[in-house]
Amino acid sequence: MLSYQQNAKLTLVGPETPLGRFFRHYWIPAANLEEIAVPGGAPVRVGLLGEKLVAFRDPAGKAGLMQEFCPHRRASLVYGRNEEGGLRCLYHGWKMSQEGRVLETPAEPPTSKLRDNLRHRAYPVREAGGILWTYMGEKDNEPPFPNFPWLNLPSSHLLPVKMYQDCNFLQGLEGDLDPAHPNYLHRDFEVVAEKSWSGAGWQSIANLMSDGSPEIICEETPYLMRVGAVRKTDDPKMKYVRTTEWVAPFYTYIATGPHESQLFKAWLPIDDFTCFTYYIHFNPTQPLDVPAIYANWGHKSEPKTYRTPHNVGNMHLQDRQRMISGNYSGVEGAAIQDRVVQESMGAICDRTGEHLGTSDKAVIFYRRLILRKLDEMDAGKPLPGSDPSLDFQHRTASWYVPSDQPWQDALRYQVEYEQNNPPVAAA
């Protein structure tokens, strides 16, 4: 279990906290591009790492992200006039550019130098993969933009899904660090054939259900870490291996099998108590089956709130009668099943009361690794994912490996299978 101080160090994300400073070394999602699709349209509020910001696209099409409150009298700029070159506050007409320059202070005398001596907090942005990205750290330390393999795919091959969660980000992130939980929390897809994972193109989930106590192996990587979950099969000469790749600061590639759509996830803190989960579904070789993805995950949401109907107050629409008839959790959708357990822990889980076991090996490894990386950050050492030679071209595996071969070879065996067994064209 963690101490109170360690738990705080791993969960609090404000600008002056260790983890908040760590996150501000990276490019991170700020908003979906659909939220600011219209040039000159209404600005939108953005909560990010404990800061209150506003995103917008000016009439000329240039995107911006700045502190929500005007530097003059702190009125909210989400109500402001969206003009070419920046936002104008309604209160006294001050105008701020996307770079944070105070362009006009019309209520001041013409000789006033006030605007020349001020700088509004604004952050650089990039547009890629349907997302507005930002870097919130020191200007002189801006890292290269990560070249994720899904960023430039056509819309038919890419589905970015944003979902609000009413809990600290770490509760969600640690769910993805847990290779054993699908055998229990998500087991209904094994029983209900018409909603099976294999029916939606994820046969790999059905395959793992045979062994609910996998061997878990973790290793540090230049990006952050890798996790292998090794399961027994009916054939003693073969093992079933699932790998996940973790990329700093809070990104993961979920294990997927041959010819399956792939999944990149980001656990994005709004503040210490709430977060957005980004599910980036993608397939480089064929269009996505979007209705099947939504049916399996249950995470379809809409701007502006990106909420689903499920919450702690309505017990996430749990149906206990369905628990009797085959749905293990009584909750529809894997993403909502995850939220049930994650939001049930409270706003910030009290990890001082945990009693961890062997199945929590990856969670333990991650916590120790991040605590060490925070110390290395303070010592001025390079952080994971900061090497400019890294290509960020990850892929995971969920496939069979001979029992006498390293688990790390799972992707090689999976790729060989794919090459020898091309996907069957849809009818």
Burial class (CB in 10 A: 0-12, 13-18, 19+), 173: buried
pLDDT given at position 201: 60
Name the pTM for this structure. Answer: 0.94
User: pLDDT tens digits for 81-105?
Assistant: 999 999 999 999 999 999 999 999 9
Q: Residue 287 CB: number of other CB atoms within 10 A?
A: 13
User: Order of strands, edge to edge, in the sheet holding 131-135?
Assistant: 27-32, 131-135, 125-128
Distance CA 227, CA 360 (A): 12
What pLDDT sits at residue 194? 46
Of 246, 199, 209, 202, which is closest to residue 231 (Cα–Cα)? Answer: 209
Burial state string for 291-318 with b = 16 or more CB within 10 A and e = fewer than 16: ebbbbbbbbebeeeebebebeeeeebbb
Beta pairing class for 238-247 and 398-402? antiparallel
Q: Alpha helix (H) ranges present in 193-274?
A: 203-208
SS3 419: helix
What structural domains does the chain harbor? 27-141 (2.102.10.10), 155-420 (3.90.380)
Q: How far apart are CA 106 and CA 114, in angstroms?
A: 11
Write the CB contacts of 282 (distance below 8 Å, at least 6 apart in sequence).
Answer: 149, 150, 153, 157, 158, 159, 261, 262, 263, 264, 288
DSSP-based three-state secondary structure for 306: coil
Q: pLDDT by residue (tens digit) across 175-190?
A: 999 999 998 998 875 4
CB 157 within 8 A of CB 288: yes
Below-50 pLDDT ranges, the chain: 190-196, 427
What pLDDT is attached to residue 190?
Answer: 47
